[in-house]
Amino acid sequence: MVFFWMVVVLLALLAYVILDGYDIGIGTLTLFERDGGTRRDMLDVVGNVWDGNESWLILLAMGLWAGFPDAYATALPALYLPLCLMLFALIFRGFAIEMALHRPGFDRIWGRLFGLGSLVAAFAQGVVFGGLVSGITVVNHQFAGGTWDFLGHGYPLLTGCATVLLYTWAGAAQLQAKLAGDARRRASRQVRLLTGPVVLASALSAGLLPLASNARLRLDGVDRWLPFGYGLLIAVGAFYTAWRWAGRSPKQVSFFAAVAVQIGGLLALICLYFPVLVPPSVTIYSAAAGRNTLVFLTVMIGVIGPGTVGYGIYAHWVFRSAPAVKPVAETPPAAPDRAALSPTN
Rounded to a whole number of angstroms, the minimum distance from the CB of residue 119 to other proteins is: 16
Rounded to a whole number of angstroms, the minimum distance from the CB of residue 136 to other proteins is: 12
Pattern 141-180, binding to other proteins, x per CB under 8 A? xxxx-xx---------------------------------
Residue 187 and residue 176 in contact, taking contact as beta carbons nearer than 8 Å: yes
Q: Which of residues 259-298 bind other proteins (CB under 8 A)?
A: 289-290, 292-293, 296-297
Looking at the Cβ atoms of 6 and 271, the one nearer to other proteins is 6
Rounded to a whole number of angstroms, the minimum distance from the CB of residue 283 to other proteins is: 15
Looking at the Cβ atoms of 219 and 318, the one nearer to other proteins is 318
Residue 49 and residue 316 in contact, taking contact as beta carbons nearer than 8 Å: yes
Q: Which of residues 301-340 bind other proteins (CB under 8 A)?
A: 301, 304-305, 308, 311-312, 314-315, 318-319, 324-331, 333-336, 338, 340
8 half-sphere exposure, CB direction, 13 A CA radius: 25
Rounded to a whole number of angstroms, the minimum distance from the CB of residue 172 to other proteins is: 22
Looking at the Cβ atoms of 32 and 80, the one nearer to other proteins is 80
Rounded to a whole number of angstroms, the minimum distance from the CB of residue 17 to other proteins is: 16
Rounded to a whole number of angstroms, the minimum distance from the CB of residue 23 to other proteins is: 12
Q: Which of residues 35-74 bind other proteins (CB under 8 A)?
A: 44, 47-49, 51-52, 54-55, 57-59, 61-63, 65-70, 72-74
Looking at the Cβ atoms of 141 and 248, the one nearer to other proteins is 141
Looking at the Cβ atoms of 73 and 133, the one nearer to other proteins is 73
Give the 3-state secondary structure of the chain.
CHHHHHHHHHHHHHHHHHHHHHHHHHHHHHCCCCCHHHHHHHHHHHHCCHHHHHHHHHHHHHHHHHHCHHHHHHHHHHCHHHHHHHHHHHHHHHHHHHHHHHCCCCHHHHHHHHHHHHHHHHHHHHHHHHHHHHCCCEECCEECCCCCHHHCCCHHHHHHHHHHHHHHHHHHHHHHHHCCHHHHHHHHHHHHHHHHHHHHHHHHHHHHHHHHCCCCCCCCCHHHHHHHHHHHHHHHHHHHHHHHHCCCCCCCHHHHHHHHHHHHHHHHHHHHHCCEEECCCEEHHHHCCCHHHHHHHHHHHHHHHHHHHHHHHHHHHHCCCCCCCCCCCCCCCCCCCHHHHCCCC
Looking at the Cβ atoms of 36 and 336, the one nearer to other proteins is 336
Stretches 140-148, 198-206, 230-238, 272-280: which one binds other proteins (CB under 8 A)?
Answer: 140-148
Q: Does 98 bind other proteins (CB under 8 A)?
A: yes
Q: Which of residues 68-97 bind other proteins (CB under 8 A)?
A: 68-70, 72-77, 80-81, 83-84, 87-88, 90-95, 97
Rounded to a whole number of angstroms, the minimum distance from the CB of residue 285 to other proteins is: 14
